[in-house]
Amino acid sequence: MKNRKTLGHLAALLTIVIWGTTFISTKILLADFQPVEILFVRFVMGFFLLLAAYPHPLKTADDKQELTFALAGLCGICLYYLLENIALTFTSASNVGVIISVAPFFTAILAHFTMKSKEPLRAQFFIGFVAAMAGILLISFNGQELALNPFGDLLAVAASLVWACYSILTRKIGSFGYPVILSTRRTFFYGILFMIPALFIFDFQTDLSRFTNITYLFNILYLGLGASALCFVTWNFAVKELGPVKTSVYIYMVPVITVVASVLILHEQLTLLAGTGTLLTLIGLFLSEYKAEK
């Protein structure tokens, strides 16, 4: 059991390391692709990779389980990413980054009130939350002015709420006992299905010749095979082993990974504010996790 908990933490950490670097690939692809095109292609690619990795059918026990998969796909694959991307068109990336990082807080609240084995709302979790959010604020608004945009910021809040719902649904799916790859693939299926109407709204282009550009091809493969197929499997495994609250706390690390990636890959300078923010965020993560482990 302890070994599986350790694997759960490692899976969550691996997921966040990859998710924290996806901004580089997304930024490169946005030069010639719309956000909805990137989302759709990466998840279709991820779906077929999971199908190739484990080509077995998933027969759910009843309609209630099927509905849970459908809701998970709607929340974690379709709505979360669409809300996040639309929010970015109305407000700054810094605002979105900070607000999305509130997801662990919403997850803890939802878990406490919706799960049969209620997750305790410990004081140290909230202390860790405050420390992490202070660090994320320093990282995100490093040298920038705080500019609020009510509509865009509300969309980002909605995205973090939707991700919290996805985390709770993922824990429920984990209790069904199906292989994680099969469960993730079924969730992808519904997420892609719900995403189809958005393709018409946002003028989806089917020009695949753009992927003859080796840079575009590499980056969409990274997003599709790594950030989607692999990471959703490892994240769902972590939620199954650790629970939605402990796993969601790792979201605090996304801005930290982004800072480190910016320094190592884009050769950006690490400022005092960003360094202090990184340290505070890691302290917040430790406080939240330490109490839960104890």
How confident is the model over 65-76, as pLDDT tens digits? 999 999 999 999
Q: Convert the pLDDT of each residue in 154-204 to its tens digit.
A: 898 899 999 999 999 999 999 999 999 999 999 999 999 999 998 988 878
Read off the pTM. Answer: 0.86
CB 243 within 8 A of CB 171: yes
Whether residue 294 has pLDDT greater than 60: no
Res 27 pLDDT > 60: yes
Task: Report which of residues 293 and 135 the model is more confident about.
Answer: 135
Distance, in Å, from the CA atom of 173 to the CA atom of 183, rounded to the nearest integer, reads 7
Ranking 81-95, 124-138, 223-237 by mean pLDDT, the lowest is 81-95
**Residue bearing the bigger pLDDT, 231 or 110:** 231
pLDDT > 90 fraction of the chain, expressed in percent and rounded: 43
Average pLDDT of the chain is 86
DSSP per-residue letters across 166-192: HHHHHHHHHTTT--HHHHHHHHHHHHH
